[in-house]
Amino acid sequence: MGKLDGKITIVTGATSGIGRRTVEIFVAEGARVVATGRREELGRSLEAALGKDRCVFVKADATQEKDVKAMIDACVSKWGRLDCLFNNAGGPAPVGGIETVPVEGFDAAMATLVRSVMLGMKHAAPIMMKQGGGSIINNGSVAARRAGYSTSMIYGAAKAAVNHLTVCAAMQLGEKNVRCNSISPGGIATGIFAKALGLPPDKADGYAQAMKASMAKAQPIPRAGIVDDIAHAAVFLASDDSSFINGHDLVVDGGMVGGRMWTPHQEGVNAMRKAFGVDEI
């Protein structure tokens, strides 16, 4: 038996990276999935690989209300219910200091990162409340918890809004047995970092593997995060195993935001001892 047997789910931003892998693992765990995104060729390839009896691709821009409503309507029309929505769609935000932020870039980032989450919850919530249950998962970030953990301060601010909006919605929807939680990834090797630096999506995704070595030392666990780490966290929050978890931000970062790493800290302590002429204990 799979952990998601019989579950009807939607994953946004499903054409690459975390979203695509989450769809694959959701299906492997027994779910039926509506996968959405803007890149139709990639979405159709995912649908073909998994089979239309398990995965249906719906082209949708998660920042547009009509598209969000259409994708949810398509799910309910095909399978009759909605058990889990993973608001995963995202993208880069303007880089540079606060004095350089272009207003149009700020607005576009807020639409991609925050409005998309609000729209997903807005249109999924009535269905789940009527059913008497469901799970909404929003993709946050460790950049929401600590400044300087993204190439963009606007990205960090947007993800902080996502995490808090998640809690606000959880306080309302929990009364109807609809859970709302977020996942905050740390350094996950995907194309989003290259996109943030200006590479187009079709090229940026190819840099994910090359990033693993440089990201392996960013946290106590000595490897880069991978998309499977987030996908499996999403499986947990989508499943009945997490039925009493609501309004929670699940940080998946190998310990990145836990504090100062042990070895560099001890090297600093020993350097101070040496400078002060104190024998190492």
- Say what the pLDDT of residue 85 is: 98
Assigned domain for 264 exists: yes
**Dihedral over Cα of 92, 97, 98, 100: its sign:** negative
Assigned domain for 136 exists: yes
Assigned domain for 67 exists: yes
CA nearest neighbour of 67 among 84, 100, 89:
89
Instruction: Pick the catalytic residue from 26, 149, 155, 193.
Output: 155
CA atoms within 13 A on the CB side of 131: 20
State the Cα–Cα distance between residues 97 and 160, nearest whole angstrom.
18
Q: In this structure, are residues 188 and 225 in contact, taking their beta carbons and an 8 Å threshold?
A: yes
- Say what the pLDDT of residue 204 is: 56
CA nearest neighbour of 203 among 213, 190, 191:
191
Report how far apart, in Å, the C-alpha atoms of 52 and of each of 6, 21, 22, 32 are.
15, 17, 16, 9
- Say what the pLDDT of residue 236 is: 98
Assigned domain for 268 exists: yes
Assigned domain for 1 exists: no
- Domain that includes residue 36, residue range: 8-276
Assigned domain for 117 exists: yes
Q: In the sheet where 84-87 sits, what is the strand order?
A: 55-59, 32-37, 8-11, 84-87, 134-139, 178-185, 249-252
* Tokens at 69, concatenated: 């409503």
Domains of the chain: total: 1
Q: Burial-class residue 56 by CB neighbours within 10 Å (0-12, 13-18, 19+).
A: buried
Which CATH number does the domain housing residue 78 bear?
Answer: 3.40.50.720
Assigned domain for 77 exists: yes
Q: In this structure, are residues 115 and 138 in contact, taking their beta carbons and an 8 Å threshold?
A: no
Q: In this structure, are residues 80 and 8 in contact, taking their beta carbons and an 8 Å threshold?
A: yes
Paired residues of 134 in beta bridges: 178
State the Cα–Cα distance between residues 141 and 88, nearest whole angstrom.
11
State the Cα–Cα distance between residues 101 and 112, nearest whole angstrom.
16
* Tokens at 49, concatenated: 């690989």
Assigned domain for 122 exists: yes
CA nearest neighbour of 110 among 123, 124, 94:
94
* Tokens at 80, concatenated: 């009759």
The answer to whether 155 is a known catalytic residue is yes
- Say what the pLDDT of residue 253 is: 93
How do the pLDDT tens digits run along the chain, 281 residues long? 899 999 999 999 999 999 999 999 999 999 999 999 999 999 999 999 999 999 999 999 999 999 999 999 999 999 999 999 999 999 999 999 999 999 999 999 999 999 999 999 999 999 999 999 999 999 999 999 999 999 999 999 999 999 999 999 999 999 999 999 999 999 888 765 556 556 566 665 566 666 777 788 888 899 889 999 999 999 999 999 999 999 999 999 999 999 988 998 898 888 888 888 887 55
State the Cα–Cα distance between residues 147 and 199, nearest whole angstrom.
24
- For helices 17-28 and 40-50, angle between their N-to-C axes, nearest 10 degrees: 20
